[in-house]
Amino acid sequence: MAWLLSFIIALLVAALVIWIVSKLNMGLSVDGYVSAIVAALVIAVISVVISWLLGLLGINLSSMGGLLGWIINIIVAALVLMFGASFLPGLKTNGFTGAIIAAIAMGVVGWLISWLLGLLGIGV
């Protein structure tokens, strides 16, 4: 049961991050918070599938460190955003550059929210 609560909190935080980045007008737009929740869920599923497929090829994104690992993770995140936006009606990206900027912004905003929740004793 704890894993379900943890999943719901992580999903809501991811949706909040998507919604905030959308409001900041940083290459990503979402129609509303419900669309942000659906987008967060779809993006999570796409990310898992891409990580699994890359793992079959022997590529492990989580073990890549340094600047090269950061660049590869941002590019993969941007591609996931673009792919998700191609079939989710409430999610739009402003091309690859917009998706890159949105992926970076999502990383920063997500880190800030996780840090703030950590100060409150809520782990995400």
Decide if pLDDT at 64 tops 70. no
Percentage of the residues of the chain whose pLDDT score is greater than 70: 94
Interval 69-80: pLDDT, tens: 778 778 888 888
> Lowest-pLDDT range, 11-25, 66-80, 91-105?
66-80
What value does the mean pLDDT take over residues 47-63?
A: 77
Decide if pLDDT at 1 tops 70. no
Q: 105-112: list long-range contacts, CB under 8 Å, 24+ apart.
A: 105/21, 105/24, 105/26, 105/27, 105/28, 106/17, 106/18, 106/21, 106/28, 106/77, 107/74, 107/77, 109/17, 109/20, 109/21, 109/24, 110/13, 110/14, 110/17
Cα 48–54–21 angle (5° rounding)? 45
Gap between the Cα atoms of 45 and 75, Å rounded: 17
Percentage of the residues of the chain whose pLDDT score is greater than 90: 4
User: What's the pLDDT at 30?
Assistant: 92
Please state the pTM of the whole predicted model: 0.77
Decide if pLDDT at 123 tops 70. no
Q: What integer best gives the mean pLDDT of the chain?
A: 82
Closest to 30 measured CA to CA, from 81, 79, 77:
81
